[in-house]
Structure 1
Amino acid sequence: MFNILLHTHSGMWGIMVLLFILSFAFYRQRGWNMGLRLAYLVMLVTGVWMLALKGFPWLFILKGILALILIGMMEMTLGRRRRKEPTFFMWILIIVILAVILLIGYEVL
């Protein structure tokens, strides 16, 4: 069961990043945003489920908190794009947080 959750979760990260880029590029179309939010939901459910199966280790709890912050940053970036405000700093933060999350997820850190 854990392997199914792991593959779903890791695959959803890739889909989520792709949908975020598409949502940013096509910010006037609502369909990409809806798909992105569905990806958030699947990613969060599988992540919490895996946390429960592993016994809530502190490093993966930190990863979950960073993932929630990343989701918030993504939503703020999309909001800024719609309002035509600068998003460069937000992109830098998203890339850094995503890199840390991936390093924790693949147990490099």
Structure 2
Amino acid sequence: MTHLHITTWVVALILLFVSYSLYSSGSAKGAKITHMILRLFYILIILTGAELFVRFANWNGEYAGKMILGIITIGLMEMLLIRKKKEKSTGGLWVGFVIVLLLTVLLGLHLPIGFQLF
């Protein structure tokens, strides 16, 4: 299940950049389609993450923190695309997104079912 979870968020990140670039180029129809597919991947990320949480969590704070950071990351992804669609500035959201994404990935790698890099 870990591989499915990692695959879904990697595909979601790719779809985020594709949707963002399509909104930037003015291709509203293509951007809307990829944005809707990305929303499907949000659901898959949440479902696989919840399954991992229930299966492996010892109900400690690190797992709960990882889950909260993951939901915040998804929220920031959606906010980035909506603000780009409305042609509002996204600079601050990009900074916040990158920081929260890095924290989420690093915490995920630190947990026992993650890869032991450090």
Instruction: State TM-score, norm by structure 2.
Output: 0.83
Larger radius of gyration: 2
> Which of 93, 96, 102 is the equivalent residue of 1:93?
96
The alpha carbon displacement at 1:63 in A equals 1.0
* Secondary structure, counterpart of 1:104 in structure 2: helix
Corresponding residue number in structure 1 for 2:113? none
Long gaps (5+) in structure 1: none
- Residues 66, 101 of structure 1: 8 Å contact kept: yes
Kindly report structure 1 stretches of 4+ aligned residues shifted beyond 3 Å. Answer: none
Superposed CA deviations along residues 82-109 of structure 1, whole A, max 9, x for unmatched, are 1111101101110110000000111168
Structure 2: any 5+ residue segments left out of the alignment? 111-116
In 2, Cα distance between equivalents of 1:75 and 1:14: 15
Q: Is the 8 A contact 1:51 1:57 kept in 2?
A: no
Could you tell me whether the CA contact under 8 Å between 1:80 and 1:86 is conserved in 2? yes
| Residue identity (%) | 28
Question: Which deviations, in whole Å up to 9, do the C-alpha atoms of 1:15-64 show, x marking residues without a partner?
Answer: 11111111111121211111111111111101101111113332121111
Count of residues paired in the alignment: 105
Distance 2:79 2:96 in 1: 11
- Among 47, 50, 53, the residue aligned to 1:51: 53
